Amino acid sequence: MRPYFLFFLLFLLIIPAIFFSCRGEGRGPVYEFTRIERGNIEKTVASTGSLNPVSTVKVLPRMSGRVESVNVDYNDRVTKGQVLAVLNTDMLVLQREQQLAQVIKSRANYELSKINYRNQEALAAKKLISDYELQSTKTTLDIQAAELSAAESNLKAIETEINQYAFITSPIDGIVLERNINVGDTVVDSSSSNSSNIFTLCENLEELQIESWVGELDIASISPDQEVRFTLESLPGRSFSGLVASKHLMPSVQDNVVSYQVIIDVENRDLSLLPGMSCAVEFIEEQRENILLVPNAALRYRPSSLAQGSKNTGDNTADRNAAPGLANLMQGNMGRMPGMGRRAAGTESQGRDRPPVVEEPKQLWYLDRGGKPAVLLARTGISDGTNTEILEILPSGEEDGGAPEGREIILRERPQ
């Protein structure tokens, strides 16, 4: 009885092992699915930038002197001709008195020279003096006239400084963005290289500009009046829009990276945007609405059996086994792709001509009626980095074909 007992015990141990082993070999991968659905998509170019006023005016002093008073501060609204600051004129008043005395003296000398010249003219008419003496008197008169004119001009310059230049006024209607002087400071005439602006004014903060930099690979996608969307860390949850005003052709090269400046016009009616704010910019290159979309992960998916077979065989045998007819499907549909006929003809007739580049169709995998992976070929359009536009599902001759919209395709495999 003992041999029969041992045989029975061995049977109980082996049969379950064989059962579970066979069951494990029969299990296939676990798939996650998605569907081809309609939606909206847009292709964008990302960049960064900073907000700045459309135009600013720097106010420099037109004379040197000590600041007597400052009448405006940051963010004050000013009008054209309004006095922003006043410079001390005590020394100028003294100079004016001195120059006025010089004018009186020059005028007296001129009047005396004019009388002398008239007398000399009368004597010369009677031939009592020589022509040289008459001409010398005329030269003296001209010199006195020039000295009088110079003295009067200097007096006018001093009076202009006292009555005009000492009062620093606003050249525009706008807002004070920056104030660089205080009472008691000494400013330097704008004609000097040591001079600096004392006020910075902005015409209007309701219209701003973004100065953004775009890399050389994307700059061809930027054009005037192109729509722009931007956000700011300082104003989370809000999105703003603008339009491309211009792109500058002078490149900037930093660390071997070439970029170009792009100016974007922005409306700021509620004054929530302030100069100097940094922002994340998206240039809207293309937009599509109500189109077929598929996740990019589905376009990247390849069956694990395909990858393992290719690794083991070193050829595309596994490709043909995993998706029967894939090679034939690719071959048959490439001829239907736009431009393929022209490419072949051009290559045969003019071998020196470069054939046009035609993008190969992308693969989308699904489970056929037998539960095995099968492939669809699709022409794709723009992508936003997450989803891709499906332009066309190429004919496959499969019995389980049908309309692309709503079709279930494999997104990825999950490990068991």
CATH assignment at residue 141: 1.10.287
Give the number of other CB atoms < 10 A from CB of residue 348. 8
**């190969």: which residue's tokens?**
360
Tally of domains in the chain: 4
Identify the CA nearest to 215 among candidates 186, 173, 254, 185.
254
Per the CB < 8 A criterion, the answer to whether 218 and 237 are in contact is no
Which pTM was predicted?
Answer: 0.66
Per the CB < 8 A criterion, the answer to whether 239 and 280 are in contact is no
187 with 215, same domain: the answer is no
Per the CB < 8 A criterion, the answer to whether 232 and 279 are in contact is yes
213 with 349, same domain: the answer is no
Domain boundary (165, 195, 223) is at 165
333 with 269, same domain: the answer is no
225 with 249, same domain: the answer is yes
The phi, psi pair for 236, rounded to 5°, reads -65, 150
Per the CB < 8 A criterion, the answer to whether 84 and 59 are in contact is yes
Instruction: Mention every residue, 6+ apart, whose C-beta is less than 8 A from residue 297.
Output: 34, 411, 412
Per the CB < 8 A criterion, the answer to whether 348 and 330 are in contact is no
Q: What is the DSSP letter of 63?
A: S
Alpha carbon distance 210, 240 (integer Å) = 12
179: CATH = 2.40.50.100
68 with 185, same domain: the answer is yes
Q: Is residue 307 part of a domain?
A: yes
Alpha carbon distance 104, 227 (integer Å) = 70
Q: Is residue 250 part of a domain?
A: yes
Domain boundary (165, 190, 222) is at 165
The phi, psi pair for 186, rounded to 5°, reads -105, 125
DSSP readout, 182-220? Answer: -TT-EE--TTSTT---SEEEES-SSEEEEEEEEETTTGG
366 with 303, same domain: the answer is yes
Full residue range of the structural domain in which residue 159 is found: 89-165
123 with 139, same domain: the answer is yes
Residue 5 to residues 2, 10, 14, 393, Cα–Cα distance (Å) = 5, 9, 14, 65
Alpha carbon distance 21, 125 (integer Å) = 145
357 with 299, same domain: the answer is yes
Instruction: Give me the count of residues in the chain.
Output: 416
- pLDDT per residue rounded down to tens, the chain (416 residues): 555 555 555 556 666 555 555 544 456 688 999 999 999 999 999 999 999 999 999 999 999 999 999 999 999 999 999 999 999 999 999 999 999 999 999 999 999 999 999 999 999 999 888 999 999 999 999 999 999 999 999 999 999 999 999 999 999 999 999 999 999 999 999 888 888 899 999 988 999 999 999 999 999 999 999 999 999 999 999 999 999 999 999 999 999 999 999 999 999 999 999 999 999 999 999 999 999 999 999 999 998 877 555 555 444 444 444 454 555 555 555 555 444 433 333 333 444 455 555 578 999 999 988 888 899 999 999 998 899 999 988 876 554 455 688 889 999 988 66
Q: Is residue 14 part of a domain?
A: no
380 with 308, same domain: the answer is yes
| Residues paired with residue 211 on neighbouring β-strands, in sequence order | 50, 263
**């998206």: which residue's tokens?**
282
Residue 184 to residues 25, 199, 268, Cα–Cα distance (Å) = 93, 16, 37
227: CATH = 2.40.30.170
